[in-house]
Structure 1
Amino acid sequence: MNISLCTLFEGNYHYGVAALANSLVASGYQGELWVGYRGPLPRWVLDAPGFDPQVGHFQASPSLVLRFVVLDTPLHFTYYKPTFIADLLAQNPQLDTVAYIDPDIVVKCDWPALAGWFLDGGVALCEDVNFRFPARHPKRLLWREHFAPHGFVERRPLDRYFNAGFIGIPRSSIAFLDLWRRVCEVVVAYNGPKLIKVGGGAALFNSTDQDAMNFALTACDDKLNTVGADGMDFMPGGYYLSHAIGPAKPWHGGHIRRALRGFPPSLPAKAYFAYANHPIRVFSDNELARRKLTLQIAGAIGRVYRRT
């Protein structure tokens, strides 16, 4: 099976792209990471001996090449995921599956374990931190009513809510990408092209891009290959991915300050620094050592003080 991976970034999320790429090397993945981006490329790319600016390719290791694709879209990148994945499948007919991974995720398991997610032609998904979402939840009923005039009809009930930070699409499910894209268009028309968190939990679309994907999953009949919320370290016991959700990303720092407020470092913050600097280096040795020390101090604070 020919599988390729992709991600999207802008701004300081390049720190996450580097760690994601490093974790893929550590996992034993061999192939390409397609990186769609907006704005300037970081110095760790532009100054790297393995970067070819003519084609936008960066040989990060003997086994991994990053292929940078500049994008011009007014959409928040979370709405652009189905378009980006569909373009990669259309432009690379040799690919059987394309998996998208957010740049605030690292891979913890070896590649053969992760590759099992893509077998048997299913759409690969991971449950969200708030994964219980009954099929006749009031918000699902409101979604059904909202999308019906646009021609979308539920084809199956789902009782789980999935995180949009990771999704694997086999070529046999390429029609789902068009469905997901069109659902995103309806949400964008309702909330605007750049908002991804709107209002409180009672808002029709609170996690707007993710809500769009979850409704689209009910409006198709593709097979789903799923794991629980532990698959992204949203609860203990996971071994696939680690996802640093929320506005404070591990590379932002501030771990001690947050620990003093009762919020110790998360599992994903610790996982990020395990892959932050090899083989792609984004920090000096001294800077990385300082950041790891502050993480350890914050962890010690968290063992004696945390909010419940």
Structure 2
Amino acid sequence: MKISLCTLFEGNYHFGVAALSNSLVAAGFSGVLWAGYRGALPAWLTGSPSYDAATATYQVSPDFQLRMVLLNTPVHFTYYKPTFVRDVFEKYAPDSDTVAYIDPDIVMKCDWPSFCGWFTDDALSLAEDVNWAFPSRHPKRLLWSAFFAQHGIASTRPIERYYNAGFIGVPRQHVDFLVLWERLCSLVLDYNQGVKHLKAGGSAALFHSTDQDALNFALTAHEATLNTAGPDAMDFTAGGYYLSHAIGSPKPWNTPHIRNAIGGQSPSVATKAYFQHIEGPIRAFSDAEIKRHRFALRLASAIGRVYQRR
């Protein structure tokens, strides 16, 4: 099975792409990470002798390439995920059997052979969200069904869980799922009046988590089998060993670790996982910056062992 990976980033999320790439090398992944982006590329990439500007390719290791794709879309990238995954299938890596999208604030924790068990040619690969319990007759699901029914899209199966959109693996057999998800994202975008933020309105809003809500309704309107893991698979609960997802803000590369610790918030598991993958082969930080980050993280962790906000 040929598996291609992809991600989307802009602004300082390039620091996340660097750590994600490093974690894939550490895991033993062989292949390509397609990175769609807006704006200027970071100096750690364009200034590296391993970067070929003509092909927009960074040879991260002998077996792993980071391929950059400049995108021209006005919408928030959170709505663009299904479109980009489909483009990888159809334009960039048409020989792929499976394409998996991974957010740039995620790092891989396990070895690649262990991770590959998640992918089969007949199923979507997903991980439950931090708020994973979402009954099939939940009030918001009923409202979603009523909304999408107006557009000719019906829920055809009950699902009791809510899945995170930061990672999804799609086999070629179910490329049509991406078309459905893309259409739902467009409808949600129109409903939210072209919102340019990750979240829309308050938690009770019909589509607060935008693309993620669209994804979770799409799962009820499509027949694909689901290969699923619990919230631990993204370090949302203890005991995880697949991925570590630094949800929320600020992101690990922006977090004032010591100030947060003094305020009673210890460094998260995902933050610590991120900083395990900053030294290479891609070095997005200088030696001095790495030392500063590691010192702040150690001190913040020490503070957190004796003081936490209740």
Q: Distance in 1 between matches of 2:121 and 2:286?
A: 43
Matches within 5 A, 1:203-222: 203-222=205-224
* Map of 2:149 onto structure 1: 148
Q: Distance in 1 between matches of 2:235 and 2:303?
A: 21
The answer to whether the 8 A contact 1:74-1:193 is kept is no
Q: Distance in 1 between matches of 2:253 and 2:94?
A: 36
Q: Distance in 2 between matches of 1:22 and 1:154?
A: 40
Please report how far the alpha carbon of residue 50 of structure 1 lies from its aligned counterpart in structure 2 after TM superposition: 1.1
* Map of 2:106 onto structure 1: 105
Q: Distance in 1 between matches of 2:250 and 2:260?
A: 10
Amino acid at match of 2:272: K
Amino acid at match of 1:95: S
The superposition leaves residues 268-287 of structure 1 with CA deviations (integer Å, 9 ceiling, x where unpaired) of: 00000000121001112221
> Is the partner of 1:88 in helix, strand or coil?
helix
Deviating above 4 A after TM superposition, structure 1's stretches of 4 or more consecutive aligned residues are: none
The superposition leaves residues 127-184 of structure 1 with CA deviations (integer Å, 9 ceiling, x where unpaired) of: 0000000000000001111111111100111110000000000000100000000000
Unaligned 5+ segments in structure 1 are none
Q: Distance in 2 between matches of 1:195 and 1:16?
A: 19
> Is the partner of 1:98 in helix, strand or coil?
strand
Please report how far the alpha carbon of residue 193 of structure 1 lies from its aligned counterpart in structure 2 after TM superposition: 4.2
Q: Distance in 2 between matches of 1:103 and 1:139?
A: 29
Unaligned 5+ segments in structure 2 are none
Please report how far the alpha carbon of residue 120 of structure 1 lies from its aligned counterpart in structure 2 after TM superposition: 4.4
Q: Distance in 1 between matches of 2:278 and 2:149?
A: 45
* Map of 2:88 onto structure 1: 88
> Is the partner of 1:100 in helix, strand or coil?
strand
* Map of 1:297 onto structure 2: 299
Asked whether 1:20 is paired with 2:20, we answer yes
Alignment length (residue pairs): 308
* Greater displacement, 201-210 / 264-273: 201-210
Please report how far the alpha carbon of residue 63 of structure 1 lies from its aligned counterpart in structure 2 after TM superposition: 1.5
**Aligned pair partner of 2:264 in 233, 237, 262:** 262
The answer to whether the 8 A contact 2:121-2:171 is kept is no
> Is the partner of 2:285 in helix, strand or coil?
coil
The answer to whether the 8 A contact 1:16-1:103 is kept is yes
* Map of 1:182 onto structure 2: 183
* Map of 1:275 onto structure 2: 277
Amino acid at match of 1:235: T
Q: Distance in 1 between matches of 2:236 and 2:99?
A: 24
* Map of 2:78 onto structure 1: 78
Asked whether 1:135 is paired with 2:136, we answer yes
Q: Distance in 2 between matches of 1:42 and 1:210?
A: 28
Amino acid at match of 2:133: R
The answer to whether the 8 A contact 2:121-2:172 is kept is no
* Greater displacement, 260-269 / 16-25: 260-269
Asked whether 1:125 is paired with 2:135, we answer no
Q: Distance in 2 between matches of 1:194 and 1:203?
A: 16
Please report how far the alpha carbon of residue 119 of structure 1 lies from its aligned counterpart in structure 2 after TM superposition: 2.0
Amino acid at match of 2:214: A
Amino acid at match of 1:37: Y
> Is the partner of 2:114 in helix, strand or coil?
helix
Q: Distance in 1 between matches of 2:188 and 2:120?
A: 31
The answer to whether the 8 A contact 2:267-2:301 is kept is yes
Q: Distance in 1 between matches of 2:253 and 2:223?
A: 39
The answer to whether the 8 A contact 2:121-2:173 is kept is no
> Is the partner of 2:119 in helix, strand or coil?
helix
Identity %: 60
Asked whether 1:37 is paired with 2:37, we answer yes
Please report how far the alpha carbon of residue 93 of structure 1 lies from its aligned counterpart in structure 2 after TM superposition: 2.7
Please report how far the alpha carbon of residue 53 of structure 1 lies from its aligned counterpart in structure 2 after TM superposition: 0.7
The answer to whether the 8 A contact 2:201-2:208 is kept is yes
Q: Distance in 1 between matches of 2:97 and 2:170?
A: 9
Aligned Cα RMSD in Å? 0.9
* Map of 1:231 onto structure 2: 233
The answer to whether the 8 A contact 1:253-1:291 is kept is no
Please report how far the alpha carbon of residue 253 of structure 1 lies from its aligned counterpart in structure 2 after TM superposition: 3.0
